[in-house]
Amino acid sequence: MPNPVAMDRNDVRIYEFKRIDLKGATIIDGFPSVGLVSSIAANYLIKILNMEHIGIMDSTHFPTVSLIRDAKPLSPVRIYAGRKERNGDQIVAFISEFQAPPALIRPIAYTLVDWAEAQRCKMIVSPEGLVVDPELRDSAEISDTVFGIASTAHSRELLKQNGIQSFEEGVISGVAGVLLNEGRKRDFDVITLLAEAHPDFPDARAAALVLEAIDDLLLGIEFETKPLFEEAQRIEERIREIQKQAIVKKDEKGAPRPSMYG
Amino acid sequence: MPNPVAMDRNDVRIYEFKRIDLKGATIIDGFPSVGLVSSIAANYLIKILNMEHIGIMDSTHFPTVSLIRDAKPLSPVRIYAGRKERNGDQIVAFISEFQAPPALIRPIAYTLVDWAEAQRCKMIVSPEGLVVDPELRDSAEISDTVFGIASTAHSRELLKQNGIQSFEEGVISGVAGVLLNEGRKRDFDVITLLAEAHPDFPDARAAALVLEAIDDLLLGIEFETKPLFEEAQRIEERIREIQKQAIVKKDEKGAPRPSMYG
Amino acid sequence: MPNPVAMDRNDVRIYEFKRIDLKGATIIDGFPSVGLVSSIAANYLIKILNMEHIGIMDSTHFPTVSLIRDAKPLSPVRIYAGRKERNGDQIVAFISEFQAPPALIRPIAYTLVDWAEAQRCKMIVSPEGLVVDPELRDSAEISDTVFGIASTAHSRELLKQNGIQSFEEGVISGVAGVLLNEGRKRDFDVITLLAEAHPDFPDARAAALVLEAIDDLLLGIEFETKPLFEEAQRIEERIREIQKQAIVKKDEKGAPRPSMYG
Amino acid sequence: MPNPVAMDRNDVRIYEFKRIDLKGATIIDGFPSVGLVSSIAANYLIKILNMEHIGIMDSTHFPTVSLIRDAKPLSPVRIYAGRKERNGDQIVAFISEFQAPPALIRPIAYTLVDWAEAQRCKMIVSPEGLVVDPELRDSAEISDTVFGIASTAHSRELLKQNGIQSFEEGVISGVAGVLLNEGRKRDFDVITLLAEAHPDFPDARAAALVLEAIDDLLLGIEFETKPLFEEAQRIEERIREIQKQAIVKKDEKGAPRPSMYG
Amino acid sequence: MPNPVAMDRNDVRIYEFKRIDLKGATIIDGFPSVGLVSSIAANYLIKILNMEHIGIMDSTHFPTVSLIRDAKPLSPVRIYAGRKERNGDQIVAFISEFQAPPALIRPIAYTLVDWAEAQRCKMIVSPEGLVVDPELRDSAEISDTVFGIASTAHSRELLKQNGIQSFEEGVISGVAGVLLNEGRKRDFDVITLLAEAHPDFPDARAAALVLEAIDDLLLGIEFETKPLFEEAQRIEERIREIQKQAIVKKDEKGAPRPSMYG
């Protein structure tokens, strides 16, 4: 952190295209994590639950890019909401393909929690990939386990009730780490779910494991768990394609550039 | 985006030399794109429609340069307006030769949409060059097609009515990308028109294709489409010349410089 | 200091999870010092005195990380408080594992003193490691001595009464240095205690020496001095482990990253 | 322009040592240009017209330096005024030896025009060196010609009346370029006068040519044109000397520096 | 000056430990100069006149360091005041061991003059080392001469009355240069006294020469001039020692640092 830049939560704002009641909803943090576990999980939920694009998170510091999907322009950070299900359970997903630069991570996390509180949502869940020591990797013991960390006594109890193994010692960095700290500071339920993931490519298997834990946690939400692994694989392939996609319309660097503005 | 700089839309302002009624007008975004498609298209429209220089967009962060044309000084970003034609159609063009640095792209786009709304303009159109995979380049299938993306249901319908092929999946970056996102956010009609362009030099052919699509979209505006290709070629040559032009009057770097201010 | 960044004490704030009376308490500055003397000392006190986590110091410029201990998330800078003991003596500890970047050192120190004054605490003590010239290192003369510097006449008298040798000439940098200057400026008691420490690894022995001096200074506080050296060793090992720990959940640099955001 | 810095015209201010009536005066922009044409021209006018030092332009971003001339300290940017002559003609000169960094060019130009308007001056003239293609250099055709560009219809007419050849196409950068754009924006008379100059050293000959054009433009001002070329040469030599001058009293870089402030 | 940083005089403040009447006092600028002439001179005056530490100049951008002298902590920039002597003469000294970065030089100088005016001090004197061309170095002509520059007619007269040779042409940079410009701008008496100094090490001889000139200028102040050269030598040695001193308590760079905060 050699060059701090003055930036606060006001640099990041949420714009709602449509106002809907989100009281009691659970927010899925789909900002990119190791193995893109969060992105795959959030994408799957959006599709399987047929969630609706209800708004965006925006900032003058976000990439100047529009993603075109199904002939419609998408902002770099989108918010989707599902229907309210049994006993009030409902899912909201924040999803993005871009890796936030360090100076934006706190403003993003603060704005997310501010909004969650304002909407009276009940919980934030961050799907995360766990990078295990190469020597221990793929050991039967770890590779099928989902670990959980919770910001409050209440959410720690919730993990316990659902048999999710506690993550005892370690470090969570990025948006998920700040969400946990904010959760503890504000006494708001924030849970990080970790599954072993490969750090170098999108890991659909880890996402599927975390999704099963989410399914357990949210009693009112039920989604097909059978097609999960196959579908996750398809999402994985799609994300890889986007990343390779060379069709960039306006490339600031490559475009011909008048010499007078060296 | 390693070093975000605090900058907002107030850093970019529009100054009108002359106030005219622009209600219902269509704005052409002439900020440089791949193959300078936008610059060539905007320049052609300004000439063929005999548009009038009505103002500038300015910022303390824009280049400190005056372009001299026909013995008159021009700011780096200019606004031109055409006459109001049949059924209220009218064209306004923003034109610039300078590639905006990343931190200015959003302020430029926001200011443009703010102004468009304040003037009650009806639409913004961004001509863009499409960089195709070298292997597919110049294939008959792609090279004659103009693709369109629209920010709203209304403008998507407009593309359809005019037989402009929908751009389904991809990425639009720069001013045009932010304009699309803002259009969706504010429910304002923004259209990007794409034609295959060569990324390494000004591409008059692509500009001509996009201009034909603009001609189709704006029923009230009619411009000669015959001299289009030849004229476009001339504009292309002129822009190349400007870029090569070595006659720079005051070169901050090369000028003799007192040694005491190392 | 080639590139000053505008930053003031408002960039650093204290959040109290629990309000308790700290009038007359002594604050231990546990920000990392040479040999991690301050960290080891503060950790030991928190454990041996069974201190309670009462709040955090936070800033948008602090690392975006959550430390997980005993399955609970911890912010990068924490505040712990002990019970009020005989004649009102009480200990508050600020503890952190992160090295503050230069631009944050003054805001951290100012905020700490502001808070100390607001709470009507009586003193701030900084445990520090003293890096001695390699040739003199481990000389019997220096290696067992704890040196003290105090910001006021009153605290200099306190050092004298407890037989703590005065540090006559030298330089104290970082948070401890600014605390001393602020103490002198505001006439608030600030003491730095120095013990010879190895600059290259956590030095439990130096921490133990400084802790004995703290025990002397605070008559109302009594802690077992016998297990001090062994316990300090254990803390040292634990801190080393944390530093080596490779299990980082979300690594901004290593994670797969869409190519469109170069 | 990779790293825009927030800076506005308030960062640059004018301080008047003496208030005098400057209504109708013509301002000579003596900020360094190619071949130091502007500096030589402004210096010559100050001497030959015996102009008085009436104020300074200052900014916290200007060099921290005092120029000593005739045993008096001078700020980096000075303002001089001549007497009011026949039909109200009067000359004001801004003069500086320092090359403004890009982020200061607009604030300098804006402040200059703001002040010109507030004083009700009638015109700003920028002497400039024209860097010609090496192949065309010293051709009889170009080397004796002074070209002019004007910001308004009125000032273009003035150039024409005085037989100054119009500069039709090109680029003017730096303070002079921004002055032209501002002149057009505000409808204030700004003229740039260009003479072929060598980019690598102070060019007295070019300055003399521009001075003759200024003499033509300002009917009320008359200065000896005979000693012009010789005097210009002397000024050129003096400026070169200042630049070489090694007697710098306080050199931030070379001075012995306590090692503790690395 | 490639990267201007927004900074103004409010970034630098003066804190008085003790309020005393300084009307008519002369301020010695002891910020480091070539050969540390200013530091040696100010240190000598503080000792010989037994001056009292009355306050500090402080800024969030000053080094985060406390200098320990005689077991007391000192801020990086200190203010000392002497007694009021015959005909009201009194000396105030600003002293620092740190080289101000360029962006702080103007705020330091402005704050100093603001304070001088507020206290109704009569004059500021900057002792400076003069770096002479190596070929001319140590020539009898220059090496024994003290040169003076003054900001006002009144102070130029004062130099003349005391037989101090006028410095006619040259450049004064750093704090002293800005003080001269500010003096001229505000019509406040500022004098720079220059003696030939070696640029590479502290030069006690030059400091002694400047001190003799200060003794001449301030009739009411009398200090022993005999021990001056010997004492100056001792101060020189002491400053050298401080610079070499390796006993740095908390070295941000060298200290063990958790790997998670790369």
Rounded to the nearest integer, the mean pLDDT of chain E is 83
Higher pLDDT, C102 or A191: A191
**Residue type at D159 in one-letter notation:** L
Does the distance separating the beta carbons of D171 and A261 come in below 8 Å? no
Q: Quick one: pLDDT at residue C202?
A: 80
Q: Closest Cα to residue C27, out of C8, C12, C10, C46?
A: C46
Give the pLDDT band (50/70/90) at residue E248: very low
Give the pLDDT band (50/70/90) at residue C198: confident
Minimum-distance CB partner of D171 among B5, B61, B68: B68
Least confident window among B120-129, C197-206, E251-260: E251-260
Mean pLDDT of C232-238: 71
Q: Quick one: pLDDT at residue E135?
A: 66
Q: Quick one: pLDDT at residue B134?
A: 66
**Helices D204-217, D37-48: inter-axial angle, 10-degree rounding:** 60
pLDDT exceeds cutoff 60 at C100: yes
- Per-residue pLDDT of E50-61, as tens digits, reads 999 999 999 988
- Per-residue pLDDT of A124-140, as tens digits, reads 999 999 887 666 655 55
Burial of residue C10, with CB atoms counted within 10 A of its CB: 0-12 exposed, 13-18 middle, 19 or more buried? exposed
ipTM field: 0.85
d(Cα D168, Cα D209) in Å, to the nearest integer? 19
Residues of C in contact with B1 (CB under 8 A): 261
Does the distance separating the beta carbons of E259 and C177 come in below 8 Å? no
Higher pLDDT, C145 or D188: D188
Name the DSSP letter for residue D10. G
Name residues of chain D where pLDDT drops below 50.
1-6, 245-262
Residues of A in contact with B156 (CB under 8 A): 71-72
Does the distance separating the beta carbons of C255 and A243 come in below 8 Å? no
Which residues does C241 contact at the CB level (< 8 Å), separation at least 6? none
**Helices E228-244, E204-217: inter-axial angle, 10-degree rounding:** 130
- Per-residue pLDDT of D17-55, as tens digits, reads 988 999 999 999 999 888 889 988 999 899 889 999 999
Q: Quick one: pLDDT at residue A100?
A: 86
Give the pLDDT band (50/70/90) at residue E243: low
Torsion-angle region of residue A50: left (phi > 0), alpha (psi -120 to 50) or beta? left
Torsion-angle region of residue D40: left (phi > 0), alpha (psi -120 to 50) or beta? alpha
Instruction: Name the minimum distance, in Å, from the CA of C77 to any CA of chain A.
Output: 11
Q: Quick one: pLDDT at residue D244?
A: 54
Q: Quick one: pLDDT at residue A261?
A: 28
Q: Quick one: pLDDT at residue D225?
A: 61
Q: Quick one: pLDDT at residue C2?
A: 33
Q: Quick one: pLDDT at residue A228?
A: 67
Q: What is the pTM of this model?
A: 0.86
At B65, which helix (H) or strand (E)? Answer: strand B65-69
Cβ atoms of A107 and A181 within 8 Å: the answer is: no
pLDDT exceeds cutoff 80 at C1: no
Q: Quick one: pLDDT at residue D189?
A: 98
Q: Quick one: pLDDT at residue A223?
A: 76
Q: How many residues does chain E have?
A: 262
Instruction: Name the minimum distance, in Å, from the CA of E243 to any CA of chain B.
Output: 27
Q: Quick one: pLDDT at residue C163?
A: 93
d(Cα E39, Cα E78) in Å, to the nearest integer? 12
Least confident window among A142-146, A169-173, D236-240: D236-240
pLDDT exceeds cutoff 70 at E4: no
pLDDT exceeds cutoff 70 at E163: yes
Q: How many residues does chain C have?
A: 262
Does the distance separating the beta carbons of B261 and D248 come in below 8 Å? no
Least confident window among A243-252, B71-80, B96-105, B147-156: A243-252
Q: Quick one: pLDDT at residue A250?
A: 35
d(Cα B146, Cα B168) in Å, to the nearest integer? 13
Mean pLDDT of A193-214: 87
Rg of chain A over CA atoms, in angstroms? 19
Instruction: Name the minimum distance, in Å, from the CA of C174 to any CA of chain D.
Output: 11
What percent of chain C stands above pLDDT 90? 55
Mean pLDDT of C17-31: 94
Q: Which two tokens stand for residue A245?
A: 């996609």
- Per-residue pLDDT of A94-127, as tens digits, reads 999 888 888 899 999 999 999 999 999 999 999 9
Cβ atoms of A156 and A119 within 8 Å: the answer is: no
Does the distance separating the beta carbons of D173 and A260 come in below 8 Å? yes
Least confident window among A192-206, C58-72, D73-87: A192-206
> Which residues of A make CB contacts under 8 Å with E?
1, 171, 173
Give the pLDDT band (50/70/90) at residue B246: very low
What percent of chain E stands above pLDDT 70? 80
Residues of E in contact with B260 (CB under 8 A): 171, 173
Rounded to the nearest integer, the mean pLDDT of chain B is 83
Give the pLDDT band (50/70/90) at residue C36: confident
Q: Which two tokens stand for residue E98?
A: 């740190």
Give the pLDDT band (50/70/90) at residue E29: very high
Q: Quick one: pLDDT at residue C137?
A: 59
Mean pLDDT of A47-58: 94
Mean pLDDT of E20-28: 95
Mean pLDDT of B205-216: 90
Give the pLDDT band (50/70/90) at residue C237: confident
pLDDT exceeds cutoff 60 at C5: no
Q: In angstroms, how far is the first alpha carbon of chain E from the final one?
A: 30
Paired sense of beta strands A65-69 and A72-74, if any: antiparallel
Cβ atoms of C37 and C213 within 8 Å: the answer is: no
Q: Quick one: pLDDT at residue B257?
A: 29
Secondary structure of residue B243 in the 3-state scheme: helix
> Which residues of A make CB contacts under 8 Å with B?
3, 5-7, 11, 15, 17, 56, 58, 60-61, 63-75, 101, 103-104, 242, 245-252, 254-262
- Per-residue pLDDT of B145-200, as tens digits, reads 999 999 999 999 999 999 999 999 889 999 999 999 999 999 999 999 999 988 77
d(Cα E13, Cα E115) in Å, to the nearest integer? 9
Give the pLDDT band (50/70/90) at residue E138: low
Least confident window among A23-27, C65-69, E136-140: E136-140
Mean pLDDT of B188-216: 90
Cβ atoms of C221 and C85 within 8 Å: the answer is: yes
Residues of C in contact with B173 (CB under 8 A): 260
Give the pLDDT band (50/70/90) at residue B221: confident
Does the distance separating the beta carbons of C248 and A173 come in below 8 Å? yes
Most confident of A156-165, B251-260, C42-51, E238-247: A156-165
Least confident window among B50-59, C109-118, C224-233, D25-34: C224-233
d(Cα D8, Cα D61) in Å, to the nearest integer? 12
- Per-residue pLDDT of B102-127, as tens digits, reads 889 999 999 999 999 999 999 999 99
Q: Quick one: pLDDT at residue B198?
A: 81
Instruction: Name the minimum distance, in Å, from the CA of D260 to any CA of chain C.
Output: 8
Instruction: Name the minimum distance, in Å, from the CA of C259 to any CA of chain A.
Output: 5
Mean pLDDT of E100-116: 93
